[in-house]
Amino acid sequence: MKLICPLCQGALSARDQGLVCPANHSFDRARQGYYNLLPVQHKNSRDPGDNATMVEARRRFLDAGHYAPLANRLAALAAERDPDRWLDIGCGEGYYTGQLAMALPATDGYALDISREAVKRACRRAPQLHWLVASMARVPLADASCQLLASVFSPLDWQEALRLLAPGGGLLRMGPTREHLMELREKLYDEVRDYDDEKHLTQIPEGMRAVHSETLTYRLHLADAQARADLLSMTPHGWRASAERRAAVVAEAFDVTVSIRYDWIEKI
């Protein structure tokens, strides 16, 4: 798989401890093992993406195993596709990426996120992968270079996905259904907004088609106050709701529904 320069799209090649393109744009390898391919002019803020507090909350919650069934199913679906080259687009702190790496040994795996704090931590999970700080709207990989794109709870640029995928390759999308975390949302809001589980299917561009969809649902008992606080911190609900309602969620154990939809969307 070929990395390309985020400034001029020229091919990047290794030089010393970094990467360089024919126009002599150079990018150093961080000591943690990732490459920062997010130029200053492509940033919306000084440190875009999730901050260290959000990343740590997600790491604690996921490492406790609360979403392990979701990661296991994602990895199994990826392994069924048996790609040689794959990218986790919006990898966060790397929990799901690590599961993909274990399910796809001896493959050419890449992962990126716009959050430097997230990627710094993600590197530790699977050092054999190529870790990148980069924009999902300007992925520094060559056209048709991926056989599988994984998008987990992440916004998606459909045209970029279409550009990156080789013919016959596909997007493995994992996202919430309308039932996901319903009990949490009912505690936080007077009125819980409904949404269409299949809205994303209307956004599929010409040249791609939905081939497979399935849903995984289970009940999760949140007995630990830290887990409840972490779940709040790692979802948008944590900053949308009032402080009083957030405190009430952390104060008392409850059960919550986990309900996730998986889609395989193939490039024709």
- For the stretch 215-232, pLDDT in tens is 999 999 999 999 999 999
Q: Which of 58, 148, 132 is nearest to 100 (CA)?
A: 148
Residue 1 has pLDDT above 70, yes or no: no
Q: Residue 26: inside a domain, yes or no?
A: yes
- CA 218 to CA 257: how far, in whole Å? 6
Average pLDDT over residues 24-31: 94
- CA 227 to CA 60: how far, in whole Å? 8
Q: How many beta carbons lie within 10 A of that of residue 54, not counting itself?
A: 21
The per-residue pLDDT for range 128-150, each reduced to its tens digit, is 999 999 999 899 999 999 999 99
- CA 144 to CA 166: how far, in whole Å? 4
pLDDT, position 31: 93
- Structure token digits, residue 13: 């090649």
CATH code of residue 113: 3.40.50.150
Q: Residue 5: inside a domain, yes or no?
A: no
Residue 28 has pLDDT above 70, yes or no: yes
pLDDT, position 193: 87
Q: Residue 58: inside a domain, yes or no?
A: yes
Residue 209 has pLDDT above 80, yes or no: yes
pLDDT, position 40: 73
Q: Residue 8: inside a domain, yes or no?
A: no
Q: Output the known binding site.
A: 5, 8, 21, 25, 67, 93-94, 180
Residue 166 has pLDDT above 70, yes or no: yes
Q: Output the known binding site for Zn(2+).
A: 5, 8, 21, 25
CA dihedral 235, 118, 58, 43 (to 10 degrees): -10
Domain of 146? 13-267
pTM of the model as a whole: 0.93
Distances (CA, A) of 177 to 22, 198, 212, 220: 46, 9, 16, 15
In the chain, the number of structural domains is 1
The packing angle between helices 225-233 and 243-251, to 10°, is 140
Q: Output the known binding site for S-adenosyl-L-methionine.
A: 67, 93-94, 180
Q: Residue 50: inside a domain, yes or no?
A: yes
Helices (H), the chain: 52-63, 68-81, 95-103, 116-122, 158-164, 182-188, 225-233, 237-240, 243-251
